[in-house]
């Protein structure tokens, strides 16, 4: 098994790693982390550290995803989330440790191929350094930091690819599966509908009462509440906000001033990745450039930064803080068009040249004016709202909704009856629904604590009416119970007749036994395929092909119940294996391989995690 994984990892990864990385990028936004020497270690898994920074980043990502679903931070179980995140990080570390122990390696060419294949870094099918930088900036990563983290994560994909490549399906397995898939069957199917039994059945009052008593939880009404509520938001204050033209101009001038202090530099570099001879090579390439060899030629031939290599090392304009600290120092101190000495960072040695410097560009006042004005109005309205919230909350706590209306001019609104599943608008919000059914508010004597029901929209409410969940009266549900019990008896009678017919057919007797209530609908089928036929309804096909094949001169028989309304008795007299073509065999082999890959993968990852040595400080 291990040798299979080793052998398959090289070929499988070369073909599929770009797809794996691309899919990961789309789904998760690439969850890469960079540690530091001072980063506290939460667990050491086979020599791979799980750090506090990794944990915090993963928590942030998972919490953000949960909020998109729950929309209420109080609904998130933080303890459960923390345990889940830590377990996931430990599993990832276990996989990486196991990959290293197997001797897997990741070449520079493989990392290059992965980066070039990520769709988010491409424009019109070609790698785009600008989009690359934009995407990494959104993730808070530098180019070199991204490359380093990607290289580490590819170890896990190697192991995954090795496991996938080691899953085997033998040709005779696929052929046999195809023969079974395309088999045909001949026999009979009997359908017994329960409706024919119902007219002759009755239920006593005692049976109804017993069912009602024993199943009272089935007859609970839905808990409901009607709310009187008020909301306060920035909208209540916007009409009172007037922003002077001078304030807009001042804000724009401040933007211009700040932009003038922010310098963007356009630079190019040659990276010589860490190696024993990296410094010597960097010095040699520097000499070549000083002696007249074009910088861009050296970058294209020698740079280990795949993102800028094809553009002659050009990094484009970038604000301060984009690159590694040592790289930033060089950018800030180098005169324009001056080649640096080799600059050491954690990624290797760089030859750097600053080509241009400019202040951060900003749009003219005519374009920025309406945007700035709107921002200032919203900011002022939000300030007024914030200032008012304390008094608004105090009135809600000790006063009435009428007092809030008088003080703030808000409208008192009445909701429809809502249950715990919610309704529309505000009443679909979990944070509101949870409070609406709080036990201490049911009396309607207290207002709910003021809370933010939507961004910048705050609410309080009082229960106008409350309808608790309670067991409906027997008279209310008696008719429905009667229907349930009659249907149950009818089904039992149909099953009983079906079992008689089952025994009759098992003994290879023809037709229908005399003691089975008529009518029983029997249909014969010959050479029936899984696609069905005009004579046999589609819903019966799975039942027919679920019957055991005949053996020892005895037919295959089986009784099944469909949707609690129909009893099916099937009899299979003969089965003829199919004769599949090569394409069908190939397709089924691929499907079986995928299924086996997933099964073996789950088992393998479970073993890896359970066997990993985990040390927690």
Supply the pLDDT for residue 188: 94
Tell me the percentage of the chain whose pLDDT exceeds 70. 90
Map tokens 């229908």 to a residue.
Answer: 512
Span 553-560, average pLDDT: 93
Supply the pLDDT for residue 71: 66
Span 124-147, average pLDDT: 73
Buried b or exposed e, range 443-452, using 16+ CB within 10 angstroms: eeeebbebbe
Supply the pLDDT for residue 20: 35
Closest CA to 351 of 268, 266, 267, 270: 270
- Tens of pLDDT, residue by residue over 501-514, are 999 999 888 888 87
- Averaged pLDDT of the chain: 84
Span 381-409, average pLDDT: 93
Map tokens 């994560």 to a residue.
Answer: 153
pLDDT bucket at 35, cuts 50 / 70 / 90 = very low
- Tens of pLDDT, residue by residue over 138-148, are 666 667 667 76
Instruction: Check whether 614 has a pLDDT greater than 60.
Output: yes
3-state secondary structure of 503: helix
Buried b or exposed e, range 179-203, using 16+ CB within 10 angstroms: bebbbebbbbbbbbbbeebeeeeeb
Closest CA to 325 of 298, 346, 296, 304: 346
- What is the DSSP-derived secondary structure letter of residue 569? E
For residue 311, what are its two tokens?
């553009």
pLDDT bucket at 33, cuts 50 / 70 / 90 = very low
Contact 107, 14 (CB under 8 A): no
Report domain extents, the chain: 2-168+597-615, 183-217+475-576, 224-235+378-467, 263-359
Length of the chain as a residue count: 617
* Complete DSSP assignment for 11-61: HHHHHHHHHHHHHHHHHHS-------TTSPEEEEETTEEEEHHHHHHHHHH
CATH class of 263-359: alpha beta
Number of helices (H) and strands (E) in the chain: give both, helices first.
Answer: 20, 18
Enter the CATH code of domain 2-168+597-615.
Answer: 1.10.4030.10
Instruction: Check whether 551 has a pLDDT greater than 90.
Output: no
pLDDT bucket at 430, cuts 50 / 70 / 90 = confident
Tell which wins on pLDDT, 103 or 173.
Answer: 173
In sequence order, the 6+-apart residues with CB closer than 8 A to the CB of 126 are none
Instruction: Check whether 4 has a pLDDT greater than 50.
Output: no
Span 340-349, average pLDDT: 92
Residues 504, 510: Cα–Cα separation, whole Å = 8
- Tens of pLDDT, residue by residue over 246-257, are 999 999 999 888
Weakest mean pLDDT among 25-34, 78-87, 268-277, 350-359: 25-34
- Tens of pLDDT, residue by residue over 44-55, are 888 888 888 778
Span 121-131, average pLDDT: 79
Supply the pLDDT for residue 279: 95
Contact 231, 453 (CB under 8 A): yes
Instruction: Check whether 375 has a pLDDT greater than 70.
Output: yes
Contact 9, 158 (CB under 8 A): yes
Weakest mean pLDDT among 137-141, 161-165, 278-282: 137-141
Whether omega for the bond prior to residue 66 falls within 30 degrees of 0, making it cis, is: no
- Tens of pLDDT, residue by residue over 219-258, are 999 999 999 999 999 988 988 899 999 999 999 999 888 8
Phi, psi for 606 (deg, rounded to 5): -65, -40
Q: What is the pTM of this model?
A: 0.53
């Amino acid at each position: 098994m291990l040798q299979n994984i080793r052998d398959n990892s090289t070929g499988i990864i070369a073909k599929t790693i770009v797809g794996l990385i691309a899919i990961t990028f789309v789904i998760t936004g690439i969850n890469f982390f960079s540690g530091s020497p001072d980063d506290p270690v939460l667990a050491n898994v086979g020599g791979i550290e799980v750090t506090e920074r990794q944990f915090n980043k993963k928590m942030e990502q998972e919490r953000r995803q949960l909020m998109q679903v729950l929309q209420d931070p109080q609904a998130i179980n933080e303890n459960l989330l923390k345990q889940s995140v830590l377990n996931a990080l430990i599993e990832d570390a276990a996989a990486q440790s196991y990959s290293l122990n197997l001797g897997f390696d990741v070449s520079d060419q493989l990392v290059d191929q992965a980066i070039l294949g990520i769709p988010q870094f491409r424009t019109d099918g070609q790698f785009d350094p600008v989009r690359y930088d934009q995407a990494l900036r959104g993730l808070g990563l530098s180019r070199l930091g991204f490359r380093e983290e990607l290289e580490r994560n590819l170890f896990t994909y190697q192991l995954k690819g090795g496991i996938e490549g080691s899953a085997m399906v033998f040709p005779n397995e696929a052929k046999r599966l195809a023969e079974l898939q395309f088999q045909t069957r001949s026999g009979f199917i009997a359908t017994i509908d329960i409706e024919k039994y119902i007219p002759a059945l009755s239920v006593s009052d005692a049976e109804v009462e017993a069912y009602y008593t024993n199943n009272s939880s089935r007859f609970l009404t839905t808990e409901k509440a009607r709310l009187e509520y008020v909301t306060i938001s920035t909208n209540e204050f916007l009409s009172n906000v007037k922003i002077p033209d001078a304030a807009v101009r001042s804000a724009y001038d401040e933007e211009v001033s700040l932009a003038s202090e922010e310098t963007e530099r356009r630079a190019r570099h040659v990276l010589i990745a860490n190696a024993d001879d990296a410094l010597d090579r960097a010095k040699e390439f520097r000499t070549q450039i000083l002696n007249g060899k074009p910088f861009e030629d050296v970058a294209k031939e020698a740079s280990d930064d795949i993102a800028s290599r094809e553009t002659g090392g050009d990094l484009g304009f970038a604000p301060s803080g984009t690159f590694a600290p040592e790289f930033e120092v060089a950018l800030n101190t180098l005169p324009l068009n001056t080649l640096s000495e080799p600059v050491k960072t954690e990624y290797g040695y760089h030859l750097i040249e600053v080509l241009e410097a400019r202040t951060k560009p900003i749009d003219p006042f005519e374009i920025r004016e309406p945007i700035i004005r709107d921002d200032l109005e919203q900011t002022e309205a939000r300030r007024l709202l914030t200032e008012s919230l304390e008094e608004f909350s105090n009135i809600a706590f000790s006063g009435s909704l009428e007092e809030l209306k008088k003080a703030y001019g808000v409208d008192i609104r009445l909701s429809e009856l809502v249950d715990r599943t919610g309704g529309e608008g505000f009443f679909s919000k979990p944070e509101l629904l949870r409070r609406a059914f709080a036990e201490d508010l049911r009396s309607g004597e207290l207002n709910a604590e003021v809370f933010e029901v939507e961004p910048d929209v705050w609410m309080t409410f009082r229960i106008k009416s409350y309808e608790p969940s309670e067991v409906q009266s027997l008279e209310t549900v008696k008719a429905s119970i009667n229907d349930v019990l009659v249907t149950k008896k009818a089904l039992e009678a149909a099953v009983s007749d079906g079992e008689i017919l089952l025994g009759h057919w098992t003994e290879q007797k023809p037709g229908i036994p005399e003691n089975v209530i008529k009518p029983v609908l029997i249909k014969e089928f010959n050479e029936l395929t899984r696609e069905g036929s005009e004579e046999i309804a589609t819903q019966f096909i799975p039942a027919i092909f679920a019957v055991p094949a005949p053996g020892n001169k005895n037919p295959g028989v089986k009784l099944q119940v469909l949707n609690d309304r129909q009893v099916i008795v099937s009899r299979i007299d003969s089965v003829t294996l199919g004769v599949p073509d090569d394409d069908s065999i190939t397709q089924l082999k691929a499907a079986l391989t995928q299924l086996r890959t997933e099964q073996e993968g789950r088992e393998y990852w479970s073993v890896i995690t359970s066997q990993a040595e985990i040390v927690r400080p």
